[in-house]
Amino acid sequence: MGNTFLNLALLIIFHFSMPTFFMKFTTILTDQSALLALKDQVIHDPENVLTTNWSASAPVCNWFGVSCGSRHRRVTALDLAGLGLVGTLPPHLGNLSFLSLLRIKNNSFYGRLPAQLSNLHRLKYLSFGKNNFKGVIPFSLGYLSKLEVLYLFENQISGSIPSTIFNISSLQEIDLSFNMLSGSIPSVPRDLLLLEVIDFTTNNLTGHIPKDMFDHLPNLKELCLSVNQLSGRIPASLFKCKELDMISLSYNQMEGSLPIEIGNLSMLQYFSIGENHFEGIIPHEIDNLMNLQVLNLEINNFAGSIPPQIFNISTLRMISLGGNLLSGHLPSNMGLFLPNMEKLYLNLNHLVGSIPMYISNAFQLTLLDMSGNYFSGSIPDNLGNLRNLKILNLAINSLTSSRMSFLFSLTNCRVLENLFFGINSFISGELPRVVGNLSSSLEEFSAPACNIRGNIPSEIGNLSHLINLELGRNKLIGQIPTTVGGLEELQSLSFEDNKLEGSIPSELCHLNKLAFLFFANIKLSGPIPACLGDLTSLRHLFLGSNMFSSSIPSTLTRVNYLLILNLSSNSLSGPLPIDIGKWHVLTSLDLSNNQF
């Protein structure tokens, strides 16, 4: 009886110790089996890496992407990044018990993340970015106590961020950006002394950032939470993170003022809180950020004047303050201390005064946008010193220019692509012939409502890369130069509300890419050219309020995708084209005040 009881006890002990026994004594064959299970789940291997290299007849440690430890000869790393693989991950990966690195980013793996990944207790580096994974992040990933790097960016992962993630004391970087995660940001319950990067950009996260979150992240360097639906204020604890070099909170619903403690973050290089509901003044303490390269406060409700000290931070490459309620003058020496400035956005504010002459000292500028303000005085004639300038926008101000002399200077900007100075009603003067000497790279020339007088110079036809030419609402006279027909890249042409005369030159019918033609109210006469029907790219055609006669050319019905046609207030007569039904996507047709 005693022996029977003893045997039964031993049998029970052996039964329950079996999993432990096999777990302790797994071999390289276990690893091989797990990797072959992965191979079986791959349905597309464009480079035939697994197909030709992963074979049971070859040692596992010699397989492509596989690394083994020198001591135990077990698989310690699996790196299959960027091979274009398509498939799912089998649960067997959880049997790679010596694995410390798992990297399969930039493939097309799909399906759910197997919960068995939490069995990889030696795992330090997990990179699944740029795949097509769906489902939720397994809660059990928070039990990977040695994990240092977690990359799940650019997938289709949904659900909430597991609260267990911030229990991993070894965590250094976590990137869950460009997914479909929802819910709130979990709190940080303990000090994470090694965590340097948090990137949750472009998800659907809501709620407030936890107030005490940054009390536990003393060495945080990068915080990226842009493009979510976060609300509330910036937690005061954030400004305790003295190692921060990047803060990105743009495109959320956050509010409140910008605390003066921002000046404490002396290591900060990138600060972006645009597209929120922040308000109040821009604190002058921001001038303490002497390493700052990017400052983005655009599209908020900041008011008051711009602290002039901002323009003394020589490391700045971009300042974006557009779309606020900022007022006052710009400092007269602005530009003297911006040797690295590449992009300057001051548009859509309430700024007044003149454009500082020293702006031309910011030699690295590629973009200058001062549109939508109340700037007055003359457009500086030294803007041509900005030899790297690609975009210049001075539209919607009260600027002047004697004989448009600034255009002579801009001929030195040989890479200029976009030039906007419209809706400056005090500019006046004639459009100089030198306009034809502007950059051959110029794609947009927009100068509506500037009181420009005289003829359109034929030299404008030299701008062979123009996509948009806008000279409407001026006082132009004479005929449309035939050289416009040489602008073969043109997609939009606007001369409306001028005093031009004569007919539409047939050369315009060579503009095969033209989609928008605005010739309303410019006193043109003669018949509508039949060759306009060859412009099959046309979407909007405005010829109203002219003196066109004869009938609508039947060829115009060839423009099958015309959306808007306005021929009103002319002297057109005769029948309508019989195949007018070919305009099958037309949304607006105005033929009123004619003699049909």
pLDDT 10s digits, 441-484: 999 999 999 999 999 999 999 999 999 999 999 999 999 999 99
Query: CB-hemisphere CA count at 13 Å for 68?
Result: 16
Please give the single-letter amino acid code of residue 258. L
| Residue 277 token pair | 């509901």
In this structure, is the dihedral angle defined by the CA atoms of residues 320, 322, 328 and 329, taken in order, positive or negative? positive
Residue 504's contacts (CB-CB under 8 Å, 6 or more residues apart) are 480, 519, 524, 526, 528, 529, 532
The pLDDT tens digits along the chain (596 residues) read 455 544 444 444 444 443 333 344 679 999 999 999 999 999 999 999 999 999 999 999 999 999 999 888 999 999 999 999 999 999 999 999 999 999 999 999 999 999 999 999 999 999 999 999 999 999 999 999 999 999 999 999 999 999 999 999 999 999 999 999 999 999 999 999 999 999 999 999 999 999 999 999 999 999 999 999 999 999 999 999 999 999 999 999 999 999 999 999 999 999 999 999 999 999 999 999 999 999 999 999 999 999 999 999 999 999 999 999 999 999 999 999 999 999 999 999 999 999 999 999 999 999 999 999 999 999 999 999 999 999 999 999 999 998 899 999 999 999 999 999 999 999 989 999 999 999 999 999 999 999 999 999 999 999 999 999 999 999 999 999 999 999 999 999 999 999 999 999 999 999 999 999 999 999 999 999 999 999 999 999 999 999 999 999 999 999 999 999 999 999 999 999 989 889 999 999 999 999 98
> Which helix H or strand E contains 410, and what residues bound it?
helix 405-410
User: What is the DSSP code (8-state) at residue 391?
Assistant: E
Question: Are the C-beta atoms of residues 433 and 463 closer than 8 Å to each other?
Answer: no
Rounded Cα distance, 276 and 297, in Å? 9
Residue-wise pLDDT tens digits, 43-84 = 999 999 999 999 999 999 999 999 999 888 999 999 999 999
Residue 215: closest CA among 194, 239, 234, 233:
239
HEC letters along 10-49: HHHHHHHHHHHHHHHCCCHHHHHHHHHHHHHHEEECCCCH
What predicted TM-score, i.e. pTM, was given to this entire model? 0.91
Question: Are the C-beta atoms of residues 491 and 511 closer than 8 Å to each other?
Answer: no
**Which residue do the tokens 């276990």 mark?**
30
For residue 564, CA distances in Å to 184, 538, 568, 596 come to: 46, 9, 12, 19
Question: Are the C-beta atoms of residues 534 and 511 closer than 8 Å to each other?
Answer: no
Rounded Cα distance, 163 and 142, in Å? 8
Rounded Cα distance, 394 and 101, in Å? 53
Backbone angles phi, psi at 50, to 5 degrees: -75, -35
For residue 348, CA distances in Å to 214, 301, 320, 323, 399 come to: 34, 11, 11, 5, 15
Rounded Cα distance, 503 and 162, in Å? 70
Query: CB-hemisphere CA count at 13 Å for 334?
Result: 20
Residue 2's contacts (CB-CB under 8 Å, 6 or more residues apart) are none
Rounded Cα distance, 418 and 457, in Å? 19
Question: Are the C-beta atoms of residues 503 and 524 closer than 8 Å to each other?
Answer: yes
Rounded Cα distance, 361 and 438, in Å? 21
Question: Are the C-beta atoms of residues 440 and 416 closer than 8 Å to each other?
Answer: no
Question: Are the C-beta atoms of residues 258 and 285 closer than 8 Å to each other?
Answer: no
> Which helix H or strand E contains 50, and what residues bound it?
helix 49-53
DSSP H helix total and E strand total for the chain: 4, 42
Backbone angles phi, psi at 210, to 5 degrees: -55, 135
Residue-wise pLDDT tens digits, 358-407 = 999 999 999 999 999 999 999 999 999 999 999 999 999 999 998 899 99
Residue 415: closest CA among 445, 390, 451, 383:
390
